[in-house]
Amino acid sequence: MFSIAAVTATAIMTVLTMRGTYESLYSARESYYQTSRFPDVWASLERAPESVKRQLQQIEGVSAVDTRITFASTLDLENRTSPAIGRFYSASPPDEMLGALHLRSGRWVKDSDRDKVIVSEKFALANQFANGDTLRAIINGRLRHLEIIATAISPEHSYAVPQGSLFPDDEQYGVLWMSPKAMGAAYNMEGAFNEVALTISSRVDIRFVQSEIDRILKPYGGLGSYTRKTQMSNLFLESELNSNKQTGTIIPGIFLAVVAFLLNIVLRRLISTQRQEIAVLKAFGYTNMDVGLFYLKFALSAVMAGALVGMVSGVWLGGLMIDVYRDYFDFPDLTYHLSPSLLVFAVTVSAIAAVVGALGGVRGAIRLPPAEAMRPQSPARFTKGLLEHFSFFKRLPSAARMVVRNIERRPLKTIFSALGVAFSVAILVIGLFLFDGMDYMMDLQFNVAQREDLTVAFNRPLPERIRYDLGRIEGVNRIEFNRMVPVRITKGALKREMAITGRKVGDELNRIVHSDGTIIPLPLHGLVVSQILADQLHIKRGDLVQVEILEGERRNESVPIVGIVDDFLGMNAYMHIESLNDLVRGPRLVTGANLSVMGDNQDEVAKTLSTIPMVASVSSPRRGFELFEKQMSEGLMVGMFFLIGFSSIISVAVIYNGARISLSERGRELASLRVLGFSKKEVSVLLFSEQAVITLCSIPIGWYIGKVLAGRPFPRWPLKAIDSPM
């Protein structure tokens, strides 16, 4: 009964920890979104005058509009060997700003504040910045010294990650806000904007609003609108919420199924050994209801004791989980809250599992007539099992034949015992798969696909002669250019806004790699797309899709799909850079470059690149890989502790109860063997061999269950998976 209580405690603990964390994160997010007026729709564009804002406000269903200026820039930090990346936003007045900032310290920026900024709190803490400190930024090719006047958090950057990364890098990626007047002057955007955020009424079809936004912004280089569902920070948060919700449902379900199974076999055996006591109770006037309730309370006592332990440990672990999430997600008020409804739900489901498990045994106690119960239980009648008909069975040692007969004569008990242990193996397989799968995915991405030392993004499309400027930097060994063009890909009624990446055949620093490690050669003509995009647009190899260019002449062309690659990170589309230039027309331009650097000159080269006026940002894929390894190393031991703990609780409970019940059932048989001269060791072998066989048979079953569950479609990380090609 103690082992049953331990399994129940684990189930309750998991529910309260994971589902409680889910509810706490969800309520904190919804409260923050509501108080900050979190936008419903965003749109990026090249440049539009502020007068367009009035047209957007007149769209049916639009409640509020906030126009902005936003650019990425390089930050030169004194305490860092390599440059950081800053994402700058213009800060509208607090009463007009959608996704309003929550100031942690300092004051709001004024129109007269030319070189003053508000910085994201975690970036300031990671670099030990205080209000009044100065940081250097390359803004539109000019070095600016910016004074920090405040720190803040933003709902649009609750999970702040640099482009192309999975994890926050607070040391080298920050979000900064300046006054609209200062931003406009810095980027030649006076009286204009290049991003807009909107809130809409719930009564209006959001697709209609998006189409109107796209129509209005099309003449101004609109790159397509996108919604909360695909906003980067919210996308990561939603993914984490779903993970907690599923974990808090599946794992407790497995544990409670084991509880029901254990209670069933324990109570059945308990009632069979207490036949005479039951008969005496009924003879003295106790009703069937009295007897049945006694055994039902017996089962509930173990489950409720486990539930009590699970409540205490679940609330404690839930608080620790929230502490961990504070390192990743920025909310003004993030605390663990245990809702009464969740507590009632967890206890009720546990009680139901106890009742279901005890039902078979209780039914037997109720149906047992007193006169029949006074007699000893009739010995079980067995016939030859299936294996006994084979010749090899006769060649087994006598002890082995006894073990096989006992297992074969109780098939249901054997099957359910094996399934119980198999579930413990499956939990280990699924958990370890997540670690191994992430490790494999990151190794493939950063050691096979992305092999460059530095990734450079330009602040505007440039002619390829920029090669000579980059090539003169000491330490640069190889340069491979690329061009990213925002497009809208349409197949029938389905469409998706994204970016096509143009590369050259033979590029070695950044390659197209299939999930099995196969390197996909870039064709001279046609489009290669990610499997996730192919699934969303229902396209296959050989299909023609409509590609609308969202820059320049905004041409619309039919392009064949010549390849589909099952990659991991995001949603991508690739073309040969010359074919992409032909599609866009106009001059041959590039938007970025991948660099290979000799020796240990990476930091020096990155610093030099950050001073070039046309360079918008410099990043290192190796830095992303190091962040991943750091996160994995921090979470691996904790994850392994829980996985092994969960697995051990199930397996120990099932095997221990199986051994105890087997001993109870075969007590006379084993005693007879001792009388006949069998040693304690020989008798113990008979008892434990049965459990060993069941365990050995359950291991491959657990492997298979774990493989099936782990083999479900692996979630692609949402890099570049937002509707906006920005």
Task: Examine the pLDDT at 197 and tell me if it is beyond 90.
Answer: yes
pLDDT for 721: 37
Mean pLDDT of the chain: 83
Q: Give me the amino acid identity at 588.
A: R
Nearest to 484 by CA among 461, 450, 459, 510: 461
Question: What is the pLDDT, as a whole number, of residue 604?
Answer: 85
Report percent pLDDT > 90 for the chain: 23
Higher pLDDT, 418 or 631: 418
Query: In the predicted model, is pLDDT for residue 327 greater than 60?
Result: yes
H helices of 114-231, where?
A: 121-126, 180-186, 206-217
Q: What are the backbone angles phi and psi of residue 564, rounded to the nearest 5°?
A: -125, 125
Judged against a pLDDT cut of 80, whether residue 404 lies above it is answered with no
Q: Residues 31-36: what's their mean pLDDT?
A: 92
Separation in Å, CA 476 to CA 144, 288, 452, 605: 27, 87, 11, 7
Give which of 78, 721, 85 is closest to 454, Cα–Cα. 85
In which band, very low, low, confident or very high, does the pLDDT at 493 lie, cut at 50, 70 and 90? confident
> What does DSSP assign to residue 160?
-
pLDDT, tens digit, 9 for 90 and up, residues 439-478: 788 788 878 888 888 888 888 888 888 888 888 888 888 9
Q: Which two tokens stand for residue 120?
A: 């994201």
Q: Please choose, from the candidates 545, 589, 522, 487, the residue with its C-alpha nearest in 3D space to the C-alpha of residue 223.
A: 487
pLDDT of residue 669: 75
Contact partners, residue 518, CB within 8 Å, separation at least 6: none
The pLDDT score that the predictor gives to residue 439 is: 79
| Choice between 401 and 387, residue whose per-residue pLDDT is larger | 401
Q: How sure is the predictor about 680, in pLDDT bands with cuts at 50, 70 and 90?
A: confident
pLDDT at 377: 61
Q: 83 near 76, Cβ under 8 Å?
A: yes
Give the pLDDT confidence score for residue 379 in this predicted structure: 61
- Among 206, 205, 227, 225, smallest CA distance to 215 is for 225
CA geometry: angle 300, 304, 310, nearest 5 deg: 150
Tokens of 220: 């101004």
The strand pair at 41-49 and 192-200 is best described as: antiparallel
Task: Say whether pLDDT at 215 is over 50.
Answer: yes
Query: What mean pLDDT do residues 552-574 have?
Result: 85
Mean pLDDT of 541-566: 88
pLDDT at 374: 65
Q: How far is C-alpha 552 from the chain's CA centre?
A: 37
* Per-residue pLDDT, 632: 67
Q: Which of 176, 180, 173, 207 is nearest to 195 (CA)?
A: 180
Query: Tokens in use for 13?
Result: 């603990």
516 and 551 Cβ atoms separated by less than 8 Å: no
Q: 495 is written with which tokens?
A: 């469409």
Is pLDDT above 80 for 667?
Answer: no
The pLDDT value given to residue 714: 45
Sheet holding 192-200, edge to edge: 62-68, 192-200, 41-49, 225-227
* Percent of the chain as helix, strand, coil, to the nearest 5: 50, 20, 25
C-alpha–C-alpha distance, residues 360 and 236, integer Å: 46
Q: What is the mean pLDDT of residues 96-100?
A: 91
pLDDT at 431: 77
H/E stretch holding 231: none
Strands 116-120 and 142-153: parallel
* 651 — pLDDT class (breaks 50, 70, 90): confident
In the predicted model, what is the mean pLDDT of residues 698-726?
63
* Domain spans, the chain: 70-185, 454-619
223 pLDDT more than 60: yes
Quick one: how far is CA 695 from the chain centroid?
32
Six-digit token string for 344: 């009632």
Which pair of structure tokens corresponds to residue 183? 């931003």
Average pLDDT over residues 159-167: 75
Residue type at 707 in one-letter notation: K
Tell whether the model's pLDDT for residue 716 goes beyond 50: no
Integer Cα distance of 307 and 561 in angstroms: 56
Provide the angle, in degrees to the nearest 10, between the axes of the packed helices 411-443 and 398-408.
90
DSSP state, residue 510: B
Separation CA 131–CA 556 (nearest Å): 50
